[in-house]
Amino acid sequence: TGLRPGEKLYEELLIGDNVLPTEHEKIMRAEEEVIAWTELELLIQQLQVSSDDGDFSRVRELLQGAVSGFKPQCDVVDELTLALAGRAKGKSNVVRL
């Protein structure tokens, strides 16, 4: 049936090009970026507010700013909001979920 949106053929265990060797030839390690706890707390609060407000574009923006390897594969699509917007314009009285 093929891949669904967001589905992967394989899972990347490391993000970025910062892979370093270890004493064992098959074991690698990475030096990843670390977010300070105070910065993470603020980010979580902003994500919560944006999520509660239904501002999913802002959620995506916050994640892109916080996670260096985050690359969304598709646009944010909120079918309910789109359907309600269409209804407000008089297009339909049926909301498909």
Kindly report, residue by residue over 19-28, the tens digit of the pLDDT: 888 999 988 8
Give the pLDDT band (50/70/90) at residue 89. Answer: low
Whether 90 shows a pLDDT value over 60: the answer reads: no
In the chain, what percentage of residues exceed pLDDT 90? 28
How much is the pLDDT for 5? 81
Whether 8 shows a pLDDT value over 80: the answer reads: no
State how far the alpha carbon of 42 is from the alpha carbons of 37, 47, 56, in Å.
9, 9, 17
The Cα–Cα gap between 21 and 36 comes to: 26
Give the pLDDT band (50/70/90) at residue 16. Answer: low
The secondary structure element, H or E, covering residue 43 is: helix 37-52
| Domains of the chain by residue range | 19-88
How much is the pLDDT for 94? 58
pTM of this structure: 0.55
